[in-house]
C-alpha cells in the first residue's frame, strides 16, 4: 500500500492526515522524564504541542494521551524506586503544560460542547 498523506473517508471526501506532533510530544515527555532541559521550557513546549495536536485532530490527541499515560505507567512498574523522584521533578513541567493547554484550549472546547449536546439530542430522538 505504501505511505500517503491522504485518505478517502467517504466517496468524495478527502481527509488529510497530518501527524507531525505525536513524535514531538513523545520526545518532549521523554526529555521531561529524563530531566534534559529547563522544566519551564519543556512545559511550555509540551503545552503548545498538545494544543496544536488537539486543534489539528482531537482523536489523535486522545490516542497520544492514552499511549503516553500507558508508557508512564509501564515506566513506574519497571522502575518503582526512581519513579517517585522523577515524578516530583517532572511535576513543574507537566503543571506548566497543563495550565498552558487549558488556557489555549478553553475556548475551542467551550465551542465544542454545544455541538456535542446537539448531536446527542439528535441521537436520542
pTM (predicted TM-score) = 0.78
Q: What is the mean pLDDT of residues 65-76?
A: 94
Q: Is 53 exposed, middle or buried (0-12, 13-18, 19+ CB in 10 A)?
A: buried
d(CA 44, CA 39): 9
Residue 58 pLDDT class (50, 70, 90 cuts) = confident
Whether residue 6 is predicted with pLDDT greater than 60 in this model: the reply is no
Q: Say which DSSP state 2 is in.
A: -
d(CA 50, CA 65): 9
For the chain, which residues make up each domain, given as ranges? 20-123
Whether residue 10 is predicted with pLDDT greater than 60 in this model: the reply is no
100, 43 Cβ separation under 8 angstroms = yes
Helix/strand/coil for 16: strand
Amino acid at each position: 500500500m505504501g505511505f500517503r498523506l491522504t485518505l478517502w473517508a467517504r466517496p468524495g471526501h478527502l481527509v488529510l492526515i497530518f501527524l507531525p506532533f505525536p513524535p514531538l510530544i513523545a520526545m518532549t515527555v521523554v526529555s521531561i522524564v529524563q530531566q534534559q532541559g529547563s522544566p519551564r521550557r519543556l512545559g511550555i513546549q509540551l503545552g503548545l504541542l498538545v494544543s496544536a495536536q488537539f486543534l489539528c485532530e482531537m482523536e489523535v490527541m486522545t490516542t497520544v494521551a492514552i499511549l503516553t499515560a500507558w508508557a508512564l505507567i509501564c515506566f513506574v512498574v519497571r522502575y518503582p524506586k526512581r519513579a517517585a523522584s522523577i515524578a516530583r521533578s517532572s511535576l513543574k513541567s507537566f503543571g506548566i503544560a497543563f495550565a498552558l493547554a487549558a488556557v489555549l484550549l478553553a475556548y475551542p472546547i467551550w465551542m465544542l460542547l454545544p455541538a456535542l449536546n446537539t448531536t446527542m439530542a439528535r441521537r436520542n430522538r
